[in-house]
Amino acid sequence: MNENRWLEWTQRIQAIAQTGLTYAKDGYDLERYEELREISIAMMREQTGLPYAVVKELFASETGYPTPKVDVRGVVFQDGKLLLVREKSDGKWTLPGGWADIGYTPKEVAVKEIREESGLLVRAVKLLAVLDKKCHPHPPEAYYIYKLFILCEQIGGSLEAGLETSAAAFFAESELAGLELSLNRATESQIRLMFEYGRNPGKEVALD
């Protein structure tokens, strides 16, 4: 059985349980939805091997109507090369970015993440892609995630490591094969798609 199918089913069960716990009024229904949530936690534990408390906190602690989480990635070119940062958490390279923050627009998130992770000051120019993580070869993850890729241009600053990164540099597309990529954050095919936008600025927004 495809592991990603199990993940999709577990996410759907959790989402149904969370929706039911939000809107159900009958006590018996609430008990059933709570049991369904516990089943989803057990399924996720079986797949990940993580302790119950960790799975519940990461996967089944939210309330209200369930919606996808949003990951924002900044895309900066310099002389045909693309900005990548090396994450301290796994020692691998990726596009600068992270979770969207409450109170920030997507453009503001991209600008902030690039500054914090690479030292560059940029302005956000335009949206390049909105991708659904399930449609791409990322490792399995408990969250359901949309990924936004935003083109930015440098207006100042200089390359330097950040609190969550150990290095920042510009790479040509031909150099990707020699890099170990943080696939949970951005896949090689997604990074190559960004190079396509660098070569063809008029390319339409990619939308899953």
pLDDT digits (tens, 9 = 90+) for 61-117: 777 877 899 999 999 999 999 999 999 999 999 999 999 998 999 999 999 999 999
- State the Cα–Cα distance between residues 65 and 21, nearest whole angstrom: 9
- State pLDDT tens for residues 21-31: 788 888 888 88
| Average pLDDT of the residues in 138-147 | 87
Token look-up 């997507």 returns 106
- Domain boundary assignment for the chain: 3-59, 69-207
R_g of the chain computed on alpha carbons: 19
End-to-end CA distance of the chain: 24
8-state DSSP, 154: E
Residues paired with residue 51 on neighbouring β-strands, in sequence order = none
Higher pLDDT: 186 or 58? It is 186
- Reported pTM: 0.79
pLDDT of residue 25: 87
- State the Cα–Cα distance between residues 92 and 180, nearest whole angstrom: 5
Structure tokens given for 177:
């094969």
Residue 207 in this model has a pLDDT that exceeds 50: yes
Q: Which of 58-72, 121-135, 186-200 shows the lowest per-residue confidence on average (mean pLDDT)?
A: 58-72
Per-residue pLDDT band at 2 (split at 50, 70, 90): low
pLDDT of residue 152: 98
Which residue intervals of the chain are DSSP H helices?
A: 3-23, 27-48, 52-59, 106-118, 188-199
Per-residue pLDDT band at 48 (split at 50, 70, 90): confident
Q: What are phi and psi of 51, to 5 degrees?
A: -60, 155
- State the Cα–Cα distance between residues 30 and 191, nearest whole angstrom: 44
pLDDT of residue 60: 73
- State the Cα–Cα distance between residues 90 and 34, nearest whole angstrom: 35
Mean pLDDT of the chain: 91
CATH number for domain 69-207, candidates 3.90.79.10, 3.30.499.10, 1.10.420.10, 3.40.47.10: 3.90.79.10
Higher pLDDT: 185 or 48? It is 185
Cβ contact 130:147 at 8 Å? yes
Output the CA–CA distances (angstroms, integers) from residue 145 to 58, 59, 100, 186, in the order listed: 14, 13, 11, 12
> Helix (H, G, I), strand (E, B), or coil: what is residue 16?
helix
Residue 58 in this model has a pLDDT that exceeds 80: no
pLDDT of residue 3: 58
Residue 1 in this model has a pLDDT that exceeds 50: no
Q: What percent of the chain has pLDDT over 70?
A: 98
- State the Cα–Cα distance between residues 21 and 63, nearest whole angstrom: 8
